[in-house]
Structure 1
Amino acid sequence: MSMINTGMSGMFAAQTALNVASSNISASTIPGYTRQQVNLATNMHGGVYVSDVRRMTDSFLTDQVRDTSTAYGYSTAYYSHANQLETLVTSDGSSLSPALTGMFGALNSATSDPASDAARQTVLAQASDLASRFNTLHGSLQKQSDLANDQLGVMVDDVNSLLSDIAEINDSIMASQTGSGVPNGLLDQRDQAMQKLSELMDVTVDARPDGTVDIFLPQGDPLVMRGKANQVSLNPGDPDSDRMTLSLVTDTAEKPLKTIGGSIQGVLDFQSDVIDPAMRELGRMAVVISDAMNTQLGAGVDLNNKPGSDLFSNINSIEAMRERVEASRENTGSGVLEVEISDSSKLSADDYSLEITADGQYILTSAGKVVSKGDQRLLTTDKGVTVDGITIKVGEGELKPGDSFGIEPTAGFSGSMDMVMESPDDLAFSGAYDTPGDNSNLLELAKLEKAHLIEGNKTLGDSWNLLVTDVGNTTAQAEGSYNATKVLHEEASSALSSVAGVNMDEEAGNLLIYQQAYQANAKVIATAQQLLDTVLNL
């Protein structure tokens, strides 16, 4: 090869290297950009050429970043919501403790003068404040649950957008491949999309020889197959419409998804592990104190020498009993279930599922375990079926095989609890008729503060403190998991960045090296030209 051709090949190679170095520098701040490197090779007869422009990445480190992103996304979402809930239940403005203390403090104060109108007004005011505090807490928990559902909607939209983007990039890669390989910019875009996707859900990536990738859920369900993207659907639960469910939608079917991982799973698990138990426990406390107060007042006599009446909402009104049940949308029967609180001291903070089998049996389960089963006709009797302090019966209509119901005996009552007594004279503080100054029933009311009213031998205060403690412990564990996964994710990202990231000092050095190489090769060409001119002049 002549000197001119040798110099020209060197200049072209140096020019390409300068272009790559300048691209690295200009794109260094773009998220997901992978550093590129020029690889040179020698020609058989002298000179050099650009063999390829290589993306400086590492498949093992890239997979590790995706894996840690999934765990980090889960822990971030879970801890964020748990921390908000802990702030709510420990705040003086929303804690139940001051309201309980105020209620029983007013009752104790009234014992010295049970006929005092002022003392009685204070009791009613404190009862109203207690009911209001239950309502506020319930509303705050419901709001956080609703916000979590809204967040799930946004996340699922993001997932579907990313899946479509990856499928489109796959198509572009297949259409844009050249003899020198796949366009690096498309690979960067796809890696960035897969990185974002892995934060939202757990995925596995299978690279094809043609440069495209297939993406699956860990259990093997396909999300992307070359240029075809399936979609994830978010749907109201059945029968609990407040709890969202996920499914994978393909051209031929819609398959329910149990576990999806990532930040989406973090939100779902927070709802089922933290929010739902907290709402059920809060509701149980509201039911228990309403029932205990109303029952004790019913045993006494008021200032007008009449039997005592309810201070709080009736826990077994028709409306309350039916609100504890949600029927499946797939039911073919017209049966309407009612759930009566038959013994609030035995009431658990669990939820239940009831199914009617093809052979006319009912099966009642809780936490995956059967707690009662038998002939469905038992549900239509006046006695109904009693378990854990609740009695389940059919209020109207008819049950059909395949019908199912979700039962939450306590979750909603804290939101509807109300102080219903209209006059302070109606407070039945006396234990017997014709004794208006007697405080014997009032003393029994005051004893309820320390009474073990809640299943598990707990007082009302014990139950609230346990709820706060459980939320605090859950949040502490979530914070520990968050910190651990954050460190692992940062370490994995740092390791990948050390390979794929742009080092400005290195690129500045490359600019100087290839600038000098360009100038030297230009000098070779100039020298060859001078020699040629000399020969021609001879």
Structure 2
Amino acid sequence: MGSNLYSIGLSGLQSSNARINTTGQNTANVDTEGYSRQRTDTVSSPGASGVLVRDTARLVDNFVSAQIRSDTSEFSYYDTFHSMMTASDSLLSEDSVALTGYLDKTFNALQAANDDPTSSSLRQLAHASLSNLVGQYKTLSNLVTRQEDLVGEQLSSSLTEINAITSKISDLNKKIMREEGQSISPANELRDQQEQLAKELSEFVTARTQFDDKGLMTVSLANGQPLVMDQSAPELKVVENAMDPKSIQLAVNFGDHDVVVKTDDLGGSVGGLLDYHAEFSVYADRTLGQHAISITDAMNTQNAKGLDANGQFGKDLLSLGEIAIHTKAESQKKLADISVRVSAGESAKVTKDTYELSKTDENRFTIKRFDINGRSTGPEILYDPVNMTADKDGYVKLDELGLDIKVSALNTITVDDVFRFTPTEGAAANLSMRAKNGDDLALSAPVGVSTHSDNLSEAKISLSSVNNTRADASAFSSDGSLYPNAPHSIYFTSPNSYVVRDVAGSDIATVNNALEYSNLLEQAGLADKAGFDVSLSSNPQIGDEFSMSTELVGPSDNFNGLALMNLQSAPLVEGKDSLTKSFAGLIANVGTKTAEIAGHAASSEVIMNDSANRRDRLSAVSLDEEAVNLLKYQQSYSASAQVVTAARTTFETLLGIMR
């Protein structure tokens, strides 16, 4: 009996001591981040021999822990995204930065120059305003570039942290395996550290954790790409994408090879940075580039339709850089054989898409289009340089795209070669002034008109449009005069019939039964060939005659200057929006996205905190509860000591009886 009491009392002492130690461990770690409250479990010993200490376990719910990691990742994603978008929204919405004011100043200065085309000072002011507008496009482009650089810096820092965390988790796997292999007790503190590290990792990416058959933690990205495998941790890094150098491509390095990571739904701050880069940086850069292409093409095309201060046909006012073409490493040498440019007067067809050029057979190519998100847009375009008509420089015009493409040395390019280019990418940064001064502004019309003084009617002739001044495709010769066989006069043979005559007075076209008196050369089928057209203010009479000549242009003529002015409200961007409206759309898009992300950030923080509270209710240390437990285990320890004392007294009494 005494022996049995000794055994019961001793087991009680051991049990109470173990529980007191556990309570002390909990109390000591009340402020330790990531610490999970522990509990020592006991079972009754068979044969009324007291109690057995089973083990000391962490009080954790793996489902709740996984939910915390998921919610932490989501909040970190939106918080990072929102922080970057807020900064960009604040910068773009500044009046001193917005393009709207610069566009207004430029066209107001053009208006002033139109009021007095002979004023050199007003012309120079218009030139300076246009130069300032070009500078602002560069400023905005640099702003976007700085944001991209900031993304790169933060991403580099984040990847360093990620690799450090995964290495620590891997090292803890080794320690856990060693410690639990030498003891029957679980390595609770080490596993707590792993859980905390996994939570910290979730701030950067969405991390999925599992435990292998050895009980060791493995970690992978949401798409299944491993970050921690047993006792090793491959490196996550940025790798260059030769086909798209401006994109950010991640890969997991396994020592001798890299495996590219899909960045869709990457989560965490890294996912936020990547999505910000795609949804703001890339979008803003291409939008500004589309702007730059639109205004450059429109102003250059229009300026070429007039005469500058020196009486010469207008030259380019603005200039764009070359469109960059990218390909894989083994095809780099072939880039010199390919060039792309925006078709003159076709900028409205240029989108923000990326184009992929690849060879299909001996001489033909196809062009695929992809939007900012990499989705295919529209059918493939055929490019057949052998059977398509090229211009004198070797470029083939693709009407569907608004682009000219030239591929020389066709035999060097194979079906394995793929080339990509994005016309709008970096276009704003490469925009520059071509005009040297205000005299280069072609404000005057290239041809004048006159109404003969002896006409019977009150009808007056006016120049209605100028569409083309190229010497090889219009009535204008290279020296600025009209060709002899071009339309020089219009003579009405009746109130609704007329003939168009050349410089010698010979008829070159006849129109009968004219119902209206606008665009007379178009009605005669000569407008496209002439490159200009004329209209009358009212009904003519038989015998009325009207003349057209480059010598009739007055020094204060501003016909083309007004056309340049009208570009301010013209639908230049994709043929839908004006420059001002398009930029306002960019600002609105950024503001809307910022507000949307702000809402997600606020709600995800609430959800994350709720998950943390659920975890704390189970796993966090409560000092009140531990105080009660300590008192209970102290009393249990004292009671067990009394059992041992009673056993000793009983044993001594039995010995006394035996004597």
Scaled by the length of structure 2, what TM-score is found? 0.73
Q: In structure 1, the residue corresponding to 2:415 is in which secondary structure? A: coil
SS of the aligned residue for 1:330 comes to helix
Residues 374 and 396 (structure 1), Cα distance of their counterparts in 2 relative to 1, 3 Å cut: closer
Q: CA deviation at 1:192?
A: 1.7
> CA 1:155–1:338 in structure 2 vs 1: closer, same or farther (change >3 Å)?
same
CA spacing shift, 1:375–1:443, aligned 2, 3 Å: closer
Structure 1: give runs of 5+ residues left out of the alignment.
Answer: none
Q: Does 1:277 align with 2:283?
A: yes
Letter in 2 for 1:215: V
C-alpha separation between the residues in 1 aligned to 2:258 and 2:361? 25
**Larger mean Cα displacement after TM superposition, 291-300 or 182-191:** 291-300
Q: Which residue of 2 aligns with 1:247?
A: 251
Q: Which deviates more from structure 2 when the two are superposed, residues 352-361 or residues 19-28? A: 352-361
Q: Does 1:417 align with 2:431?
A: yes
Q: Is the 8 A contact 1:378 1:385 kept in 2?
A: no
Rounded Cα–Cα distance in structure 2 between residues aligned with 1:245 and 1:391: 30
Residue 334 of structure 1 aligns to a residue whose secondary structure is: helix
Pick closer, same or farther for the CA change 1:359–1:308 going to 2, 3 Å: closer
1:130 maps to which of 121, 129, 133:
133
Give the superposition deviation at 1:52: 1.4
Measure, in 2, the Cα distance between the counterparts of 1:147 and 1:130. Answer: 26
Cross-structure match for 1:329: 329
Counterparts of 1:292-307 in structure 2 under 5 Å?
Answer: 292-307=298-313
Identify the match of residue 560 of structure 2 among 441, 458, 461.
441
Matches for 1:37-436 after TM superposition, within 5 Å: 37-44=39-46, 45-177=48-180, 178-250=182-254, 253-259=257-263, 261-263=266-268, 264-312=270-318, 314-315=319-320, 320-321=321-322, 323-331=323-331, 334-336=334-336, 337-342=338-343, 343-357=346-360, 361-367=364-370, 368-369=376-377, 370-375=379-384, 377=386, 382-384=394-396, 386=398, 387-394=400-407, 398-432=412-446, 435-436=554-555
SS in 1 for 2:178: helix
What one-letter code is carried by the residue in structure 2 that aligns with 1:154? S
Is 1:357–1:363's contact at 8 Å kept on the other side of the alignment?
A: yes
Q: Report if the CA contact (8 A) 1:380-1:393 is conserved.
A: no
How far is the alpha carbon of 1:528 from its aligned partner?
6.1
CA RMSD in angstroms, aligned pairs only: 3.0
Paired residues of 1:78 and 1:269 also in contact (CA < 8 A): yes
Q: Structure 1 residues 23, 255: closer, same or farther in 2, change over 3 A?
A: same
| 1:63-115 alpha-carbon deviations (Å, 9 max, x no partner) | 22223333333333333333332223222232111111111122223333333
Q: What amino acid sits opposite 1:349 in the alignment?
A: K
What amino acid does structure 1 have at the position aligned with 2:619? A
**TM-score scaled by structure 1?**
0.89
Letter in 1 for 2:314: G
Rounded to whole Å, the distance in 2 between the matches of 1:378 and 1:530 is 115
Q: Distance in 1 between matches of 2:418 and 2:172?
A: 45
Query: Do the aligned residues in 2 keep the contact of 1:139 with 1:415 (CA within 8 Å)?
Result: yes
Residue from 26, 29, 52 that aligns with 1:27: 29
Task: Report deviation, 1:34.
Answer: 0.9
Q: Within 1, Cα distance between the matches of 2:217 and 2:572?
A: 60
Could you tell me which amino acid in structure 2 is paired with residue 262 of structure 1?
A: G
Out of 23-32 and 55-64, give the one that drifted further.
Answer: 23-32
Q: Distance in 2 between matches of 1:413 and 1:225?
A: 45
Displacement after TM superposition at 1:229 (Å): 2.8
CA distance in 2, matches of 1:7, 1:70: 51
The SS at the match of 1:276 is helix
Output the CA distance in 2 between the equivalents of 1:219 and 1:47.
52
- Where 2:331 maps in the other structure, the secondary structure is coil
Indicate the structure (1 or 2) with the bigger Cα radius of gyration: 2
What is the Cα deviation at residue 280 of structure 1?
Answer: 0.9
Q: 1:382-423: per-residue Cα shift (whole Å, max 9, x none)? A: 242514211121367842332222211122121122234333
Which one has a larger percent helix, Structure 1 or Structure 2? 1
* 1:464 corresponding residue in structure 2: 583
Where does structure 2 lack aligned partners over 5 or more consecutive residues?
371-375, 447-550
Q: Counterpart amino acid of 1:478?
A: I
Deviation at 1:468, TM superposition (A): 1.6
Q: Alpha-carbon deviation of 1:139?
A: 0.8
Q: Which amino acid aligns with 2:402?
A: G
How many Å separate the matches in 2 of 1:101 and 1:505?
A: 70
CA contact (8 A) 2:36 2:60 kept: yes
Of 15, 18, 34, which residue of structure 2 is paired with 1:16? 18
Q: 1:111 to 1:272 in 2, by over 3 A?
A: same
The one of the two structures with greater contact order (alpha-carbon pairs below 8 A, sep at least 6) is 1
Aligned letter for 2:282? D
Q: Is the 8 A contact 1:338 1:394 kept in 2?
A: yes
Distance 1:182 1:209, change over 3 A: farther
Residues paired across the two proteins, number: 532
1:480 to 599, 609, 633: 599
Q: Would you say the 8 A contact 1:134–1:282 is kept in 2?
A: yes
User: Cα–Cα, structure 1 residues 115 and 380, in superposed 2: closer, same or farther, change >3 Å?
Assistant: closer
- What do the CA deviations read for 1:504-526 (whole angstroms, capped 9, x no partner)? 22123223333343444455556
